Amino acid sequence: MRTRVTRWAFRVTAVTATVALLATTRAPADADIPLPKGSADHYAGSQIARYEDVGASPRAARAASEDAVEGIDVSSHQGQVDWAAHWNEGKRFAYVKATEGTGYLNPGFADQYQGAAAVGMLRGAYHFALPDRSDGTAQAAYFVDNGGGWAPDGRTLPGVLDIEYNPYGDTCYGMAGEAMVAWIRGFSDAYLLRTGRPPVIYTSTRWWNQCTGNLGDFSASNPLWVARYSEDVGELPHPWPVHTIWQHTSTPLDQNTFNGPYERLLALSGGDRAVRR
């Protein structure tokens, strides 16, 4: 364990220069590029559901088991959440949308985040990325500053980068694969530098393959949260060998399965970066 901590401490130091360089080449802030009307809230998987046909055999809810943990994710789209009801249904973790780009805050974030914790769920926050509006460093900072941080308290899950189809325009935000990988790397490195943890990456296999061109490898550092609305998780984004979380349906709200027993979910929240499933 001591060797692992030392290795990660070196990683944090190594990204400092990269983050500083990226900070000098930021794209315009979201405040300079008004979002279209109707853009108040895009929840995790909203565009995946739109483009990848969620009507095709969404996976049925499963009973609690020793090798998986059930959870949900929410945004302002859900409003007030009956957390006790979800707990009684066996949900043991939740992710709550905090931010989008550098110009949107979930107005219900605090209530939802605290509500999940109040019933005993492990909880974390996620950020909906807009790579064409500001750079990854800026968006990571905005996320951390507005609820997306992490604490080694044993109940806070690492923050999530939600990277998926562009709700406002070009599928890949006008970026070629190398540029997209660099943007994701910038966000991940900046989040790691601020929190000591790499973010979980949420995406779909189809979007990832198309928009990164399979050019980047985040599998050794970033846990994978994959969205696929089907009876099985299917092919994973390149080159992850395993997934950490699977979002398997968006009805009646986003539902997820952690790929491992509860003890491993606790380890992930507590700071064990070796947990991948």
164, 217 contact by CB (below 8 A): no
Query: How far apart, in whole angstroms, are the C-alpha atoms of residue 179 and residue 182?
Result: 5
Q: Where are the alpha helices (DSSP H) in 89-224?
A: 109-118, 136-143, 177-195, 205-212
Packing angle, helices 136-143 and 177-195, rounded to 10:
40
User: Which tokens hold the place of 160?
Assistant: 């999530």
From 70, 135, 162, 189, active-site residue: 162
Query: How far apart, in whole angstroms, are the C-alpha atoms of residue 147 and residue 126?
Result: 9
Query: 67 catalytic, yes or no?
Result: no
Query: 189 catalytic, yes or no?
Result: no
> Which residue bears the tokens 């997934």?
243
Query: 162 catalytic, yes or no?
Result: yes
Instruction: Detail the DSSP E strand segments found in 41-139.
Output: 69-74, 91-100, 104-105, 122-128
Q: Which of 196, 267, 266, 205 is nearest to 237 (CA)?
A: 205
From 30, 52, 70, 73, active-site residue: 73
From 52, 164, 189, 254, active-site residue: 164
Query: How far apart, in whole angstroms, are the C-alpha atoms of residue 103 and residue 112?
Result: 20
Which residues does the annotation mark as catalytic? 73, 162, 164
